[in-house]
Amino acid sequence: MTSATLPLLTRRALPQLRAHTLSDSWREPGIGIVHFGIGNFHRAHEALFTEEAVLAAGGDWSICGVTLQGDVTKRDALMAQDGLYSVVERGPEGERVTVARILREVLALPHDRAALFARLADPLVRIVSLTVTEKGYCRDTTTGDIDLWHPDVQHDLQSPDTPRTMPGLLVAALRARRANPFTVLSCDNLAHNGAALQRVVVSYARQLDPALADWIDTSVAFPSTMVDRIVPATTDAERASATAALAHRDAVPVPCEPFRQWVVEDRFPAGRPAWEQVGAQLVDDVTPFEFAKLRMLNATHSTMAYLSMLAGFETIDVAIADPAMHTLIDTMMRDEIAPTLQVPASLDLDAYRHALLARYANPALKHRCAQIAMDGSQKIPPRLLGTIAARLDANQPFARLALAIAAWMRFLRGVADNGERFEISDPMAARLTSLAASAGTSHDALMQALLGVHEIFPAELAGNARFQIALRDTLAELERGAKHAITRYA
């Protein structure tokens, strides 16, 4: 049989797939979570923790996933499989294929608006979680409030019953849940993600209905979380792996690394799955974990991504296999980032750093640098700029951190060192690429033009003389080639 003639993965096939599910005793729990942003990350992270928690302790915590981009293809592919998909865990020791059953329903906005609001009004839904990436928050980064100039925010304020934005959707849904609000759980890579989300939601609601805004501010829980698992985009390789292992066709498998971590602030007045029984850390304060992850992992990911786009390393494992890159990333974490972190005694930063380097080296994952390089305007501030500001305050060197920013600036020109062109994918792409182009070949002009983007660089940092000197130096080294600069700062 060729794979095209194999039957599709559906719930009817589950009895034959026992070897690839977490346990036989699955009794199709009711839907208790609505998740916005039903991408690969959620499906390999919160969804699996939740399935395991249900197996360990029960509860109606199946998931309704929502895609916000009108992506009916994804909805239809998942629903054709009754919400089933496989997680293809790839480690140096090999591959494990597990079918996840926790996803029961997938809706696509704007098409399924009525069904979505009916689901959000259901009292059984006690958690609304989200992975909509940084840009989904529609924040004014200088104030942290809602960005009133954002065209979709303006749309939502005009038509609050048919919202497009995440804050607009949450406010419309919460309005109907004043008697029994759900908990809102941000799972994006932002510092204080719960508090940041609450702030945009409340400031948006205040434009429409100040009493509703006050109620959301005081009565709805927005716990913060630190999420971690490296989850690349799906390729045909995972489709082939899943289909071969299951003898059923899976069009939507998710690749991921074996490692996973979830630190969650334990504030769920309406209840939650027993995540603590399956490895999640439920804590009073996630702040130190968030900072460690954003500043160590995400920051070095972005650094490798921009340098690699210039130097021509396609995936993270290839980049970190370069000895100079390895030294650069190792010393950047050890000497420039770790000293800015305050962590509890249980978090050993040396061990954390070594574990990160080993995860990057995973040769089976094929995590593409181009994927990580996306949305730099949103990622640079939480990942790198706070650390740079802390180093400046402490009067400590930060050349490698500056190199990361300089690499992003050169990356915006859209040309690798070997002359190959690439696309810039970023919500601010048009503005950033035109600024980069107008600077011509002068790296001083490039730096000045981009430092003027105050949504990214706070005025105080942009005007800091030491920061500018460090950028000028690193841009000059990059001029001689990214590989040269990597070696120079290693």
Q: Kindly give, in sequence order, each residue whose CB lies less than 8 Å from that of residue 84, ignoring residues fewer than 6 positions away.
A: 9, 10, 11, 14, 99, 100, 101, 103, 250
Smaller CB separation from ligand CS2, 249 or 301:
301
CB of 30 to ligand CS2, least distance (A): 29
Smaller CB separation from ligand CS2, 119 or 192:
192
CB of 370 to ligand CS2, least distance (A): 10
Short-list 251, 249, 252, CA closest to 9: 249
| Residue list 186-205, contact with ligand CS2 (CB under 6 A) | 189
CB of 377 to ligand CS2, least distance (A): 13
Of 372, 405, 412, 485, the residue at the interface with ligand CS2 (CB under 6 A) is 372
Contact pattern from residue 413 through residue 452 relative to ligand CS2, giving x for each residue in contact according to CB under 6 A and a dash for the rest: ----------------------------------------
Of 104, 126, 301, 353, the residue at the interface with ligand CS2 (CB under 6 A) is 301
- Tell how far CA 395 is from the center of its chain: 31
Contact pattern from residue 222 through residue 251 relative to ligand CS2, giving x for each residue in contact according to CB under 6 A and a dash for the rest: ------xxx---------------------
Spell out a b/e string for 117-139, using b for 16 or more CB atoms within 10 Å of the CB, else e: bebbebeebbbbbbbbbbbbbbb
Distances in Å between the Cα of 226 and the Cα atoms of 54, 261, 285, 288, 299 are: 21, 8, 10, 9, 15
Q: Kindly give, in sequence order, each residue whose CB lies less than 8 Å from that of residue 349, ignoring residues fewer than 6 positions away.
A: 292, 296, 338, 341, 343
Smaller CB separation from ligand CS2, 371 or 487:
371
> Is the Cβ–Cβ distance between 372 and 134 less than 8 Å?
no
Smaller CB separation from ligand CS2, 162 or 261:
261
Distances in Å between the Cα of 368 and the Cα atoms of 231, 255, 371 are: 10, 12, 5
CB of 356 to ligand CS2, least distance (A): 10
Smaller CB separation from ligand CS2, 229 or 248:
229
Place of tokens 């105050």: 454
CB of 349 to ligand CS2, least distance (A): 17
Q: How far apart are CA 476 and CA 135, in angstroms?
A: 31
Q: How far apart are CA 406 and CA 401, in angstroms?
A: 9
Helix (H) or strand (E) holding 459: helix 459-462
How large is the C-alpha radius of gyration of the chain?
A: 23
Contact pattern from residue 251 through residue 290 relative to ligand CS2, giving x for each residue in contact according to CB under 6 A and a dash for the rest: ----------------------------------------
Of 162, 298, 433, 487, the residue at the interface with ligand CS2 (CB under 6 A) is 298
CB of 436 to ligand CS2, least distance (A): 20
Q: How far apart are CA 357 and CA 338, in angstroms?
A: 14
CB of 286 to ligand CS2, least distance (A): 14
> How many residues of this chain bind ligand CS2 (CB under 6 A)?
9
Helix (H) or strand (E) holding 41: helix 40-44
Tell me the residue number closest to ligand CS2, measured at CB: 301
Smaller CB separation from ligand CS2, 204 or 360:
360
CA quadruple 325, 326, 330, 335: dihedral, nearest 10: -40
CB of 299 to ligand CS2, least distance (A): 9
Half-sphere exposure of 98 (CA within 13 A, CB side): 22
Smaller CB separation from ligand CS2, 353 or 379:
379
338 binds ligand CS2 (CB under 6 A): no
CB of 352 to ligand CS2, least distance (A): 13
In degrees rounded to 5, what are phi and psi of residue 385? -70, -35
Residues lying near ligand CS2 in the complex (CB under 6 A)? 189, 228-230, 298, 301, 371-372, 379
